Amino acid sequence: MRSATLALPALALALALAGCGGNAEGERKAMPPQTVSVARVEMREMAGSLRASGRLLAREEAAVALDVGGFRVRSVLVEEGAQVSAGQILAELDPSLLLPQIAQLRATLAQQSVAAEQARDQAARVAGLENEGVLSGEAIANRRFSARSTQAALAATRAQLQEAETRLARLKVRATVGGLVLERSVRPGDTPSPGTNLFRIARDGSIELYAELPEAAAAGMSIGDPADVRLPSGKVVTGNVRLIGARVDGQSGLVSVRIALPRDRELRQGGFAEARFTRAASVLAVPEAAVQYDADGASVRVIDKDRRIKRVTVRTGQHANGYVELREGPPAGAQVAVKGGAFTLEGDVVAIEGGKAR
């Protein structure tokens, strides 16, 4: 009897607890679905955000070398950074050793000219006298030989004088091309040897950015594509892709790309710069807010025809204007949750804000 009395309160407590659990389950089932805004995966024009760095180098570099040796540099007329024109005098060598030689050759040439003229006249006087008995055949032959000999000596001296005058002209070191002087490696008083490079000039002052890109990125480029180049000063200049390398480096796997830049005083040979390629491309994209990031990586919440949530892993690309490129993920046309998607779980039924995707 006592045990039956104790069992009644326990039974009542169990029934009460069961009733409470049923109410909680009912309340959970009665909760409305999460409301989310949606967007479709679709093709969009997005400006590329590929970046590459490199060195600023002359598009075409010309060396100015010395043709003659043994002469001291008398003066240097330009400095690094100067703009020069083709044929402009850059430096002068001391001609004091060469001028006396030229004067002596000119005097010798004058003497030989007189001698050659006299020999020519004497040879002309005996023309047709071979069988007249006036002069022996030997005398006539000597006069003709003397005329030819003096003419030969005259020609040799004239050639020596021409060579000396050419050397004199080359004592004025001239720019081989017009452009920007990149380097001056000569000083007054130096005695450089033949073949020594005295100056380096960037033809037309053209400086380019030599950048290197992965092979896959270079494959998507075309000649003329725009690029914004940031200089060390922070200044940004706009250039265009002029040349894409024909080979891939065997060690780095990179392709060289040359970006033509407008003339600017801040472009310095050997300087460092960074390029951002801004060519627009059509890519699959979704709003940035649609992409969720967690320990498993990036994903989106795809909404199926029954309005159920399915988590799909994605691989993202470039970002622009509030959108992100999907390089891997759901196909074009798929609906993804944007606002409110973070509060949903796999398999949840959701309510779509506005009733349809944007």
The secondary structure of 262-278 as a DSSP string is ---TT--TT-EEEEEE-
Q: Note the pLDDT of residue 73.
A: 94
Which one-letter DSSP state was computed for residue 99? Answer: H
Give the CATH number of the domain where residue 65 resides. Answer: 2.40.50.100
What angle do helix axes 137-169 and 99-125 make, rounded to 10 degrees?
Answer: 160
Nearest to 89 by CA among 108, 113, 104, 73: 73
In a domain, 212, yes or no: yes
Res 5 pLDDT > 60:
no
pLDDT by residue (tens digit) across 137-156? 676 677 778 888 888 988 99
185, 304: one domain? no
Q: Which of 49 and 312 is assigned the larger pLDDT? A: 312
pLDDT by residue (tens digit) across 247-286? 888 888 889 999 999 988 888 888 999 998 876 667 889 9
User: Could you give the CA distance from residue 53 to residue 282 in angstroms, rounded to a whole number?
Assistant: 25
Beta-carbon-side half-sphere exposure of residue 146 (alpha carbons within 13 Å): 18
User: Could you give the CA distance from residue 84 to residue 178 in angstroms, rounded to a whole number?
Assistant: 5
In a domain, 233, yes or no: yes
Q: Note the pLDDT of residue 74.
A: 94
91, 106: one domain? no
**Coil vs helix vs strand at 18:** helix
Residue with tokens 């392709």: 255
Q: Note the pLDDT of residue 11.
A: 45
Tokens (6 digits) for 179:
């452009």
pLDDT by residue (tens digit) across 313-353? 999 887 888 899 898 999 999 999 999 888 888 999 998 88
DSSP 139-175: HHHHHHHHHHHHHHHHHHHHHHHHHHHHHHHTTEEE-
In a domain, 331, yes or no: yes
In a domain, 13, yes or no: no
274, 249: one domain? yes
Would you say the C-alpha torsion 266, 267, 273, 275 has a positive or negative sign? positive
**Coil vs helix vs strand at 124:** helix
In a domain, 82, yes or no: yes
Nearest to 244 by CA among 231, 259, 254, 257: 257
Q: Which of 195 and 28 is assigned the larger pLDDT? A: 195
Residue 28 backbone dihedrals phi, psi, to 5 degrees: -65, -40
User: Could you give the CA distance from residue 288 to residue 318 in angstroms, rounded to a whole number?
Assistant: 11
Residues 207-231: what's their mean pLDDT?
86
- Degrees to nearest 5, angle at CA 199 with 196 and 202: 135
Average pLDDT value over all residues in the chain: 84
141, 163: one domain? yes
Give the CATH number of the domain where residue 336 resides. Answer: 2.40.420.20
Residue with tokens 């659990």: 21
Report how many domains make up the chain: 4
What whole-number percentage of the chain has pLDDT above 90?
Answer: 46
Q: Which of 21-25, 168-172, 189-193, 234-238 has the lowest mean pLDDT?
A: 21-25
Q: Which of 124 and 294 is assigned the larger pLDDT? A: 294
In a domain, 88, yes or no: yes
Would you say the C-alpha torsion 258, 261, 264, 266 has a positive or negative sign? negative
291, 323: one domain? yes
191, 218: one domain? no
Res 358 pLDDT > 90:
no
Q: Note the pLDDT of residue 39.
A: 93
240, 268: one domain? yes
Q: Note the pLDDT of residue 129.
A: 60
142, 255: one domain? no
Which structural domain, as residue segments, surrounds residue 104?
99-169
Contact between 326 and 336 (Cβ < 8 Å): no
In a domain, 6, yes or no: no
113, 242: one domain? no
Which one-letter DSSP state was computed for residue 326? Answer: E
pLDDT by residue (tens digit) across 77-130? 999 989 999 999 999 999 998 899 999 999 999 998 888 888 888 777 666 566
- Degrees to nearest 5, angle at CA 184 with 201 and 175: 45
> What's this model's pTM, rounded to 2 decimal places?
0.56
Helix H or strand E segment including 121: helix 99-125
In a domain, 16, yes or no: no
Nearest to 303 by CA among 339, 255, 280, 337: 337
